[in-house]
A and B are shown apart, each in its own frame.
Chain A
């Protein structure tokens, strides 16, 4: 993992000191709320329905066990004993006080964590494939490049007051587990025909009011030119992005209105003007980072899988868990284990302080002290010996963290919605809880197969509803909560924006509607066909009929 050196630490300490001073000036009345708000937002501190909310960055989704322990400590000390892992590889604390927020940030800084640029119109926390460094299909470790971007973008003098927020995601694998095409910039690590490492660059994706799948702007960018190219993209955006209308201010609108080709041409012209020396990513820096992210040697254990099969036979629940919650590791005999933060009827992405402490201990025992955070609001232990899986599973069961539902109907993505968020139109969490309860039978969920349900409490789409197989959007209709249903979105691997099926539903109706959609699929599917395949084959027609016919 990346280790902060004294310079990283100096910068972080100075940031905490600066914020402490800003908070003091606000509390003393030297700063008005209007002046203070952008400053606190740049430190991840929002004012939400019930209190201040602090959003802590988990850079490219990687946490050490010590960092997780600190998050648990924060939840216990400054919050009400829990935190919410989000789709942006952040954790949000919902019950924070302004007066003690500087102390909180100081505590975080002791383990190199912070809330810098987790809000505001700047370059946000870089997200990456949570399987980084462990996946078999990986060309290069995306964390190396994410760290390069983190350093470049932190307190960037020129790009801290952009037209709107700016999100960058990196994947190093063929399978896209970071939804890169729904980001302002999506970077996919590739090699060209000569074997040179570089990136395919997608620019102008996003969700919100105008969901757009990012077009390819450059099919091959040599790795050493990464920062020079990002600099050019950001400058073109800062110069030309709209500032007159907040809903048209994201780079996706600029790329869309200019056309991908002329946008690419303008970026290329800016790129050519830049001094290659100044922004070149040097080999020695990359190899320094490569060493930091290199895994200690894992001894291959090719025989592990057979003894595992015996165990699975003994416990069907373990069998289900092994099927849905583990993924092959690049080293034989190891698994990537997903810890489900989606207990049946639970709050998607929430974890208690006790659970966080326990996960940290499990990471130390079973996964080289490493933890990952996924954008689907689960946690991952990336390097688990298959010989340890049974013990680990038992421990996770005890903690209510082993629900065998990863990628299935109850693995729902949900934003905080009206229960916490001041921008919300409707609640998201209770809807997800009721849907989860409705599909409580885990054998049935496994029978239904891969199903991606996502819920947002308003059109900002923090719950990625556009990209869910089944997407639910909360709207406000004359003071009543209503829910719109979209079908056909794709967020894993492929990127696709779902389409609205028809008129919305009330709170009870939406839960029934989801069930109707699933049962319709079960009657339509051919052998081995997944939900999204059936939908692609039949179109929305038969689903619409079942949903609206007997109304």
Chain B
């Protein structure tokens, strides 16, 4: 299965995905996917970016689909799509307990 590369940006901690060249995107849709036999090179890109103090904690993520990238791990879907707890502000105002967005395509 293909892999993408993710990390947190040093400056603000944001979840970012390696897209191309020097570009890391906040959108998982922009992530570059590589076949399994290129994972080592992909990880090297991450280590280089850590070395340059641009990101921290980079790692490769196995994805089941590539456009858009989809991980079978809930943790990764929450990282890319945000918490699954509903919008607090809205909840406080409206007593709507029905809709609860889930992380990732089928939560």
Contacts and interface: CB of A to CB of B under 8 A. Distances in A.
* A–B touching in complex (CB under 8 Å): yes
Interface of A: 26-27, 29, 33, 47-52, 81-82, 96-99, 343-347, 350, 352, 354-355, 400, 418-420, 424, 427, 429-430, 433, 437, 440, 479, 481
Contacts of A98: 10-13
Given A49-B75, A345-B95, A354-B92, 18 more contacts: A26-B10, A29-B52, A49-B78, A50-B79, A50-B83, A51-B8, A52-B13, A81-B89, A82-B89, A97-B12, A344-B97, A347-B88, A352-B89, A418-B75, A419-B85, A427-B84, A433-B97, A433-B100
B68 interface: no
Q: Tell me the dominant secondary structure on chain B's binding face.
A: loop
29 contacts: A27-B11, A33-B50, A33-B56, A47-B56, A48-B13, A49-B75, A50-B82, A51-B12, A81-B89, A99-B12, A344-B97, A345-B95, A346-B91, A347-B85, A347-B88, A350-B88, A352-B88, A352-B89, A400-B92, A418-B74, A418-B75, A424-B75, A427-B74, A427-B84, A430-B85, A433-B86, A433-B100, A479-B73, A481-B74
A400 B96 CA distance: 13
Contacts of B8: 47, 51
Contacts of A433: 85-86, 97, 100
B97 to A, nearest CB: 4
A26 to B, nearest CB: 8
B92 A343 contact: yes
A354 B12 CA distance: 25
Contacts of A352: 88-89, 92
Contacts of B75: 49, 418, 424
A99 B86 CA distance: 28
A53 B10 CA distance: 13
Interface residues of B, number: 30
B80 to A, nearest CB: 10
B20 interface: no
Interface string B86-107: 1011011001010010000000
B84 A430 contact: yes
B64 to A, nearest CB: 12
Nearest to B53: A29
Nearest to B11: A99
A507 to B, nearest CB: 10
Interface of B: 8, 10-15, 50, 52-53, 56-57, 72-75, 78-79, 82-86, 88-89, 91-92, 95, 97, 100
Among B8, B53, B75, B89, the one with the most A-chain Cβ atoms within 10 Å of its Cβ is B75
B102 to A, nearest CB: 9
A354 B100 CA distance: 22
Nearest to B14: A51
A430 B100 contact: yes
Which one of A96, A99, A400, A427 has the greatest number of beta carbons of chain B within 10 Å? A427
B53 A50 contact: no
A51 B75 CA distance: 14
Nearest to B8: A47
Contacts of A48: 13
Contacts of A52: 12-13
A51 B85 contact: no
A343 B90 CA distance: 13
Contacts of B83: 50, 419-420, 429
